[in-house]
Amino acid sequence: MAENRRVVSIENRIPELKKYRKKKLIRHLAILIGIFAILILITLYFLSPLSKLDKINVSGNKQLTENEVRKESGLVIGEFVLGINNGKTEEELKKNTLIKTATVSKQGFNDVQINIKEFKTIGYQQKDGKYYDVLESGIMLTDQPRQFPIGNDLLFQNFKNGKTLEKMVAQINQLPKDVVSSISEVIYAPTSSDKNHIELYMNDGNQVSATISTFAEKMQHYPAIVAQLAKGQKGVIDLEVGSYFQSYYQQNEEKKAAEKKKDN
């Protein structure tokens, strides 16, 4: 009787085993079909135009043209979109001295949006009849001269790219806008005692003598200094050590006295 029960038990389980194996086979087939379908879709995607860069949209540019920005990005129409690294592209863009910030993002299936912010031009340096932009970053653009300056920005003289110009621009960036707009020209005029000496011509007819390292700290008081001068009085304001004013009349008188003494 025990043997008969064991045989019946096994016979009853055979359909269940077949059913389990069938389910397992179907599951394996579904997985294989799914993998195969995914591979087909991936292949179709890479073969389709959707996988390749179609448009590069640019915004925020003023001095640079859209084509220049596209070239700086290193992106090429037709390359695979999945291969584009937004961060790397942004770093490539910021290598351009005109670009302050850059943001790269993908739009839709195969378009890229580039948004940049340029360094502002705070003035120009004239050389050989041409004008070279001086940027707020302290860099002078030596390869993009202009025939004429734009607007009423500062004019620089005797500067060249390097630490001195960077320090000078950093000082100017610290000044209030009304003080900056009152300056007409900044001249780098080093002396034996001060390698950072500068001279300024102001729009109101005065001149300023200063040193780069303390320029912003002292120049911010320029409006208050001028307000204390007699009406119509013009001259040189020395900001190197303290604050000292000498009128053009005094300068001329001292010059005449020196010449007279020399003649005698």
Q: What is the pLDDT of residue 239?
A: 94
Question: All domains of the chain, ordered by start, with CATH?
Answer: 53-118 (3.10.20.310), 121-263 (3.40.50.10960)
Q: For 163-204, what is each residue's pLDDT tens digit?
A: 999 999 999 999 999 999 999 999 999 999 999 999 999 999
Percent of the chain with pLDDT over 90: 62
**Whats the size of the chain, residue-wise?**
264
Q: What is the pLDDT of residue 9?
A: 58
Q: What is the pLDDT of residue 191?
A: 94
Q: What is the pLDDT of residue 248?
A: 85
Q: What is the pLDDT of residue 13?
A: 64
Could you give the angle at the alpha carbon of 206 between the alpha carbons of 189 and 161, nearest 5°?
A: 30
Check: CB of residue 135 under 8 Å from CB of residue 118.
no
Give burial (CB, 10 Å; 0-12/13-18/19+) of 235: middle
Could you give the angle at the alpha carbon of 102 between the alpha carbons of 96 and 107, nearest 5°?
A: 130
Q: For 95-125, what is each residue's pLDDT tens digit?
A: 999 999 999 999 988 999 999 999 999 999 9
Neighbours of 102 (CB within 10 A): 22
- pLDDT averages per 10-residue partition of the chain, 264 residues: 51 68 82 89 84 95 94 95 94 96 94 97 93 96 89 93 97 96 96 95 96 96 92 91 83 73 68
Could you give the angle at the alpha carbon of 52 between the alpha carbons of 98 and 65, nearest 5°?
A: 20
- Angle of the 86-93 helix axis to the 66-73 helix axis, nearest 10: 120
